[in-house]
């Protein structure tokens, strides 16, 4: 008499399991739909367009990719974007970590942390205006230098423009990264430090052997976010120096911006596909490296 019941029960469990997995799928449907509609489908359209003509949509094969890879403006923009990333990201991460560790131990860390976040609250236009006031050939910095009997410079129209942009990026994003690092630091149990200290570990050893390994997850998040935020620096560069800034701060977004204005959708699409592939490869590589460790 029990067998049929047991069979029913087994069948029921199986069905329930299927339901459960199906229910799990349902939970992600809304966000997946969002990603599909707003990211994946447009991306697929960009890939499609990268093989078509700009406006007439004739099939162009890999002509657009060839044109982009031979385009000196594209190569300059890639070089500058990479250079900017290579300088900025490590600098930002290290400075932010240093500040986070100091602030985490400080009694007034919470308040100072908020002060570091202030630049993020400032509108990009105000920041750009400030940079212009400071670094114009007849701006405040040159005024101060002249008062000190030093030679001024046309900062935004020389190689200095790059370093001004690096400074601007670090100044603006430092607070955000500090907050992320501090959140990571807060997640490390104090017991581990106490145990290590009981075993005779010094401050440096604690930092090197406990803090850093435990911040690995935060490191991944912070690096990726900082990397993505580095693309937003275009706003300041554009507002300060316009469509055609000094060649050292001519970024990918300048190029996309100008291509869009001139209906060069073919080149834009091809360049976007190339850029997305490189970015994806970099992020996957970075993730894999961290996972291996």
Partner 1 sequence: MKHKVWKRTAAMILILLLVWGGLTGCSGSNQEGTGNEAAVKSAEEPNTEGNSGERAMGRFLEEEIETDIAFGNIFDIKKLSDGTLRLIGFNADDGTRGAWDSKDQGASWEKVYDFPEEIQDSDQGYTDRGALSADGRAVCVFNQIEEGVGIKPKLYLLDQNGGGTPIAFELAGSGGENAQEKMIMGVNFLGNDQLLVKSETDKVYQISVEDGSVKHTYEFDGTADTHQVYTAGKKMIVFTSTEALVYDTETGEQLSPEETLQQGLAEAGLFHSLDSLDEGESVYCLSGGGLYHYKFGGSVMEQLIDGKMNSMGAPAFYPITLTMLDEENLLVAANDSNSNSPTGIALLKYTYSADTPAKPDKELKAYSLYDNREMRQSISRFQKEHTDVYVNYQSAMSEENGMNVSDALKTLTTEIMAGKGPDLMILDGMPVEAYMEKGILKDLSSLIGEEGSYFENILHAYQDEQGQLCAVPARFMIPMIQAGSAFYTPGEDFDAFTGRKDALAKMEPKPVVEKFWYTCGAAWKKSDGTLDAAKITEFLTKLKNAYGDYDSSLDEAETGVAMAMDGNTEEIGKLSFGYGDFDLAFGRTNVNIGLCAKLDYGMMTAVNKRLEQGDYGLMPGQVEHVFVPAMIMGINSKGNQTELAEAFIKYLFSQDSQKISQSGGFPVEKEAFRSVIDGHQYAGQDNLVCVGGTDLDETLDYEMTPTPEEEIKKFTELVESLTTPAIRDDVIKEAVSEQGEKVLKGEISPQEATDAIMQKVNIYLAE
The minimum distance between CB 110 and partner 1, in angstroms, equals 38
**52 DSSP β-pair partners:** 59
Nearer Cβ to partner 1, position 54 or 270? 54
The minimum distance between CB 278 and partner 1, in angstroms, equals 20
Interaction site with partner 1 (CB under 8 A): 54-56, 71-73, 76, 157, 242-244, 246-247, 250, 255, 257-265
Per DSSP, the three-state class of 176 is helix
Nearer Cβ to partner 1, position 217 or 262? 262
Nearer Cβ to partner 1, position 96 or 249? 249
Distance spanning both ends of the chain, measured CA to CA: 57
The minimum distance between CB 208 and partner 1, in angstroms, equals 46
For 57-117, give the DSSP string. Answer: --B-TTHHHHHHHH-HHHHHHHHHHHHHHHHHHHHHHHHHHHHHHHHHHSTTHHHHHHHHH
The minimum distance between CB 75 and partner 1, in angstroms, equals 9
Per DSSP, the three-state class of 167 is helix
CA distance 249 to 245: 6
Alpha helices in 122-215 (DSSP H): 124-135, 140-147, 160-186, 190-198, 203-206, 212-214
The minimum distance between CB 108 and partner 1, in angstroms, equals 43
Encoded tokens for 97: 């970590």
């Amino acid at each position: 008499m029990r067998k049929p019941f047991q069979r029913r029960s087994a069948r029921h469990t199986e069905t329930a399991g299927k339901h459960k997995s199906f229910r799990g799928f349902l939970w992600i449907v809304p966000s997946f739909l969002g990603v599909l509609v707003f990211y994946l489908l447009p991306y697929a359209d960009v890939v499609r367009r990268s093989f078509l003509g700009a406006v007439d949509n004739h099939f162009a094969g890999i002509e657009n990719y060839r044109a982009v890879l031979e385009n000196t403006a594209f190569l300059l923009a890639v070089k500058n974007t990479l250079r900017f990333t290579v300088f900025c990201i490590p600098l930002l991460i290290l400075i932010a970590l240093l500040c986070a560790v100091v602030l985490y131990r400080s009694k007034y860390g919470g308040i100072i942390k908020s002060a570091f976040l202030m630049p993020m609250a400032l509108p990009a236009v105000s920041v750009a205006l400030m940079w212009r006031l400071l670094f114009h050939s007849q701006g405040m910095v040159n005024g101060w230098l002249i008062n000190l009997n030093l030679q001024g410079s046309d900062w935004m129209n020389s190689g200095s423009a790059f370093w001004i942009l690096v400074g601007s990026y670090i100044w603006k994003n430092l607070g955000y990264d500090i907050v992320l690092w501090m959140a990571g630091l807060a997640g490390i149990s104090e017991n581990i430090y106490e145990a290590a200290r009981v075993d005779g570990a010094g401050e440096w050893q604690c930092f090197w052997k406990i803090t850093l390994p435990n911040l690995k997850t935060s490191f991944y998040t912070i690096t990726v976010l900082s990397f993505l935020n580095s693309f937003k620096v275009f706003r300041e560069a554009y507002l300060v120096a316009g469509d055609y800034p000094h060649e050292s701060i001519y970024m990918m977004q300048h190029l996309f911006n100008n291509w869009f204005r001139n209906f060069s959708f073919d080149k834009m699409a091809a360049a976007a596909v190339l850029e997305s592939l490189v970015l994806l490869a970099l992020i996957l590589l970075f993730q894999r490296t961290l996972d291996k460790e």
